[in-house]
Amino acid sequence: MTLELIALSLTAPGTEDPLFAPLSLVVAPGEVVCVMGPSGIGKSSLLAHIGGHLSRSFTVQGEVRLDGQDVTALPAEKRGIGMLFQQAHLFPHLSVGDNLAFGLSPKLRGKSARRAAVCEALDQAGLSGMEDRDPATLSGGQRTRAALMRTLLAQPRAILIDEPFAALDTGLRAEIRSFVLDHIRARNIPALMVSHDESDAKAAARTVTLRR
Protein backbone atom coordinates (compact mmCIF):
# COMPACT_ATOMS: atom_id res chain seq x y z
CA MET A 1 0.00 0.00 0.00
CA THR A 2 1.27 3.43 -0.98
CA LEU A 3 -0.08 6.88 -0.14
CA GLU A 4 0.70 9.57 -2.66
CA LEU A 5 0.03 13.31 -2.58
CA ILE A 6 0.36 15.16 -5.85
CA ALA A 7 0.75 18.96 -5.83
CA LEU A 8 -1.73 19.19 -2.98
CA SER A 9 -2.76 22.58 -1.69
CA LEU A 10 -5.58 23.82 0.53
CA THR A 11 -7.07 27.29 0.80
CA ALA A 12 -9.11 28.11 3.90
CA PRO A 13 -12.56 29.67 3.41
CA GLY A 14 -12.59 33.45 3.13
CA THR A 15 -8.85 33.60 2.27
CA GLU A 16 -7.04 33.91 -1.06
CA ASP A 17 -3.68 32.26 -0.56
CA PRO A 18 -3.15 28.53 -0.08
CA LEU A 19 -2.16 27.57 3.48
CA PHE A 20 1.08 25.93 2.34
CA ALA A 21 3.14 25.56 -0.86
CA PRO A 22 1.92 22.65 -3.04
CA LEU A 23 2.92 19.36 -1.43
CA SER A 24 4.01 16.28 -3.37
CA LEU A 25 4.94 13.20 -1.42
CA VAL A 26 5.08 9.42 -1.78
CA VAL A 27 4.72 7.44 1.47
CA ALA A 28 5.91 3.87 0.92
CA PRO A 29 4.34 0.77 2.51
CA GLY A 30 5.24 0.68 6.21
CA GLU A 31 6.85 4.11 6.07
CA VAL A 32 5.98 6.69 8.73
CA VAL A 33 6.52 10.29 7.58
CA CYS A 34 6.40 13.08 10.15
CA VAL A 35 4.63 16.30 9.09
CA MET A 36 5.83 19.46 10.83
CA GLY A 37 5.34 23.19 10.37
CA PRO A 38 4.28 26.28 12.31
CA SER A 39 0.92 26.54 14.05
CA GLY A 40 -1.86 27.38 11.59
CA ILE A 41 0.05 26.22 8.48
CA GLY A 42 -2.59 23.55 7.83
CA LYS A 43 -1.26 20.25 9.24
CA SER A 44 -4.59 19.14 10.75
CA SER A 45 -6.46 20.38 7.67
CA LEU A 46 -4.11 18.31 5.49
CA LEU A 47 -4.90 15.14 7.46
CA ALA A 48 -8.63 15.98 7.42
CA HIS A 49 -8.50 16.35 3.64
CA ILE A 50 -6.66 13.06 3.12
CA GLY A 51 -9.12 11.30 5.43
CA GLY A 52 -12.10 12.84 3.64
CA HIS A 53 -13.31 14.95 6.59
CA LEU A 54 -12.23 18.46 5.57
CA SER A 55 -14.98 21.08 5.47
CA ARG A 56 -16.25 21.56 1.92
CA SER A 57 -15.76 25.28 2.30
CA PHE A 58 -11.98 24.81 1.72
CA THR A 59 -10.65 25.11 -1.84
CA VAL A 60 -8.54 22.09 -2.72
CA GLN A 61 -6.09 21.47 -5.52
CA GLY A 62 -4.04 18.38 -6.34
CA GLU A 63 -4.66 14.68 -5.76
CA VAL A 64 -4.58 12.07 -3.01
CA ARG A 65 -3.85 8.57 -4.30
CA LEU A 66 -3.92 5.20 -2.56
CA ASP A 67 -2.14 2.49 -4.51
CA GLY A 68 -2.41 4.70 -7.58
CA GLN A 69 -6.17 5.27 -7.20
CA ASP A 70 -7.29 8.89 -6.90
CA VAL A 71 -9.52 8.90 -3.78
CA THR A 72 -10.25 12.63 -3.78
CA ALA A 73 -13.87 12.11 -4.85
CA LEU A 74 -14.53 9.18 -2.47
CA PRO A 75 -16.44 9.73 0.79
CA ALA A 76 -14.44 9.13 3.99
CA GLU A 77 -15.96 5.70 4.68
CA LYS A 78 -14.94 4.37 1.27
CA ARG A 79 -11.30 5.46 1.52
CA GLY A 80 -10.20 2.90 4.06
CA ILE A 81 -8.00 5.40 5.89
CA GLY A 82 -7.46 4.94 9.63
CA MET A 83 -7.05 7.82 12.09
CA LEU A 84 -5.25 8.01 15.40
CA PHE A 85 -5.72 11.23 17.36
CA GLN A 86 -4.51 12.65 20.66
CA GLN A 87 -7.81 12.18 22.48
CA ALA A 88 -7.70 8.52 21.42
CA HIS A 89 -11.45 8.82 20.78
CA LEU A 90 -12.63 5.58 22.37
CA PHE A 91 -16.43 5.64 22.57
CA PRO A 92 -17.22 6.28 26.26
CA HIS A 93 -20.50 4.33 26.16
CA LEU A 94 -18.88 1.12 24.86
CA SER A 95 -16.62 -1.32 26.72
CA VAL A 96 -12.99 -1.61 25.64
CA GLY A 97 -13.83 -4.85 23.79
CA ASP A 98 -16.82 -3.32 21.99
CA ASN A 99 -14.68 -0.33 21.00
CA LEU A 100 -12.25 -2.70 19.26
CA ALA A 101 -15.07 -4.74 17.73
CA PHE A 102 -16.37 -1.49 16.22
CA GLY A 103 -13.20 -1.36 14.10
CA LEU A 104 -13.63 -4.89 12.74
CA SER A 105 -14.50 -5.32 9.10
CA PRO A 106 -18.16 -6.34 8.59
CA LYS A 107 -16.74 -9.05 6.31
CA LEU A 108 -15.53 -10.93 9.40
CA ARG A 109 -18.70 -12.85 10.29
CA GLY A 110 -19.69 -14.91 13.31
CA LYS A 111 -19.74 -13.84 16.94
CA SER A 112 -16.93 -16.16 18.05
CA ALA A 113 -14.60 -15.20 15.16
CA ARG A 114 -15.15 -11.52 15.95
CA ARG A 115 -14.59 -12.09 19.65
CA ALA A 116 -11.39 -14.05 18.92
CA ALA A 117 -10.07 -11.21 16.74
CA VAL A 118 -10.77 -8.68 19.51
CA CYS A 119 -9.10 -10.88 22.16
CA GLU A 120 -6.02 -11.36 19.99
CA ALA A 121 -5.74 -7.60 19.43
CA LEU A 122 -6.14 -6.93 23.17
CA ASP A 123 -3.42 -9.49 23.81
CA GLN A 124 -1.07 -7.76 21.37
CA ALA A 125 -1.77 -4.46 23.12
CA GLY A 126 -1.00 -5.92 26.55
CA LEU A 127 -4.66 -5.46 27.51
CA SER A 128 -5.70 -9.10 27.94
CA GLY A 129 -8.73 -9.53 30.16
CA MET A 130 -9.71 -5.86 29.87
CA GLU A 131 -12.47 -6.30 27.27
CA ASP A 132 -15.29 -5.49 29.73
CA ARG A 133 -13.58 -2.40 31.17
CA ASP A 134 -14.97 1.09 30.76
CA PRO A 135 -12.44 3.06 28.59
CA ALA A 136 -12.41 5.83 31.22
CA THR A 137 -10.67 3.41 33.62
CA LEU A 138 -7.68 2.90 31.29
CA SER A 139 -4.43 4.84 31.60
CA GLY A 140 -3.44 7.23 28.79
CA GLY A 141 -0.98 4.71 27.33
CA GLN A 142 -3.51 1.89 27.51
CA ARG A 143 -6.09 4.07 25.76
CA THR A 144 -3.66 4.91 22.96
CA ARG A 145 -2.79 1.22 22.48
CA ALA A 146 -6.49 0.27 22.44
CA ALA A 147 -7.24 3.03 19.91
CA LEU A 148 -4.41 1.79 17.68
CA MET A 149 -5.79 -1.75 17.80
CA ARG A 150 -9.27 -0.52 16.87
CA THR A 151 -7.74 1.36 13.93
CA LEU A 152 -5.69 -1.67 12.81
CA LEU A 153 -8.62 -4.11 13.06
CA ALA A 154 -10.31 -2.11 10.30
CA GLN A 155 -7.36 -3.08 8.03
CA PRO A 156 -6.77 0.49 6.80
CA ARG A 157 -4.92 1.26 3.56
CA ALA A 158 -3.16 4.20 5.26
CA ILE A 159 -3.03 5.70 8.75
CA LEU A 160 -3.10 9.37 9.76
CA ILE A 161 -1.74 10.26 13.17
CA ASP A 162 -2.34 13.66 14.80
CA GLU A 163 -0.31 14.29 17.96
CA PRO A 164 -1.46 11.07 19.67
CA PHE A 165 1.44 11.03 22.13
CA ALA A 166 1.28 14.67 23.21
CA ALA A 167 -0.55 13.99 26.49
CA LEU A 168 1.85 11.22 27.59
CA ASP A 169 4.88 11.93 29.77
CA THR A 170 8.35 11.54 28.25
CA GLY A 171 9.22 7.94 29.18
CA LEU A 172 5.81 6.57 28.33
CA ARG A 173 5.72 8.65 25.17
CA ALA A 174 8.75 6.85 23.71
CA GLU A 175 7.39 3.45 24.68
CA ILE A 176 3.89 4.01 23.24
CA ARG A 177 5.31 5.65 20.12
CA SER A 178 7.53 2.61 19.42
CA PHE A 179 4.53 0.35 19.99
CA VAL A 180 2.40 2.30 17.49
CA LEU A 181 5.09 2.74 14.83
CA ASP A 182 6.27 -0.90 15.06
CA HIS A 183 2.73 -2.19 14.46
CA ILE A 184 2.24 0.14 11.49
CA ARG A 185 5.57 -0.88 9.94
CA ALA A 186 4.98 -4.59 10.52
CA ARG A 187 1.70 -4.34 8.59
CA ASN A 188 3.22 -2.36 5.70
CA ILE A 189 0.77 0.50 6.12
CA PRO A 190 1.90 3.96 4.95
CA ALA A 191 1.41 6.62 7.65
CA LEU A 192 1.56 10.39 8.07
CA MET A 193 2.19 11.65 11.60
CA VAL A 194 1.62 15.30 12.52
CA SER A 195 3.75 16.41 15.46
CA HIS A 196 5.49 19.39 17.02
CA ASP A 197 7.88 17.10 18.88
CA GLU A 198 11.47 16.50 17.73
CA SER A 199 11.56 13.04 19.29
CA ASP A 200 8.54 12.01 17.19
CA ALA A 201 10.32 13.34 14.09
CA LYS A 202 13.43 11.29 14.93
CA ALA A 203 11.35 8.13 15.32
CA ALA A 204 9.82 8.62 11.84
CA ALA A 205 11.52 7.55 8.61
CA ARG A 206 11.70 11.20 7.52
CA THR A 207 10.10 14.60 8.03
CA VAL A 208 8.35 16.96 5.65
CA THR A 209 7.89 20.55 6.77
CA LEU A 210 4.94 22.55 5.44
CA ARG A 211 5.93 26.04 4.27
CA ARG A 212 4.04 29.00 2.92
Ligand X SMILES: Nc1ncnc2c1ncn2[C@@H]1O[C@H](COP(=O)(O)OP(=O)(O)OP(=O)(O)O)[C@@H](O)[C@H]1O
Q: Of residues 26, 40, 69, 134, which one binds ligand X by CB under 6 A?
A: 40
- Interaction mask 130-149, ligand X, x per CB under 6 A: --------------------
- Nearer to ligand X by C-beta: 30 or 62? 62
Work out whether 158 is an interface residue with ligand X (CB under 6 A): no
Total number of residues binding ligand X (CB under 6 A)?
A: 13
DSSP assigned state of 168: S
Residue 42 contacts ligand X per CB under 6 A: yes
**One of 8, 43, 50, 145 touching ligand X (CB under 6 A):** 43
Q: Which among 43-51, 94-102, 107-115, 136-144 is the span making contact with ligand X, rule CB under 6 A?
A: 43-51
Q: Is 24 among the residues that bind ligand X (CB under 6 A)?
A: no
- Nearer residue to ligand X within complex by CB, 43 or 114: 43
* Closest CB 103 distance from ligand X, rounded Å: 25
Cα 194 to Cα 177: distance, rounded to the nearest angstrom: 13
Residue/partner pairs of 127-136 with CB below 8 Å, 24 or more apart: 127/96, 130/96, 130/97, 131/95, 131/96, 131/97, 131/100, 132/95, 132/96, 132/97, 133/95, 133/96, 134/92, 134/95, 134/96, 135/90, 135/91, 135/92, 135/94, 135/95, 135/96, 135/99, 136/92
Q: Should residue 39 be labelled a site residue for ligand X when binding is judged by CB under 6 A? A: yes
Among 33, 34, 36, 41, binds ligand X (CB under 6 A): 41
Q: Identify which of residues 89 and 133 has a Cβ nearer to ligand X in the complex.
A: 89
Phi-psi sector, 136: left (phi>0), alpha (psi -120 to 50), beta: alpha
Centroid of chain to Cα 128? 23
- Contact set for ligand X, span 46-105 (CB under 6 A): 55, 57
Q: SS3 for 149? A: helix
Q: How far apart are CA 101 and CA 150, in angstroms?
A: 7
Binding-site ranges for ligand X (CB under 6 A): 12-13, 19, 37, 39-45, 55, 57
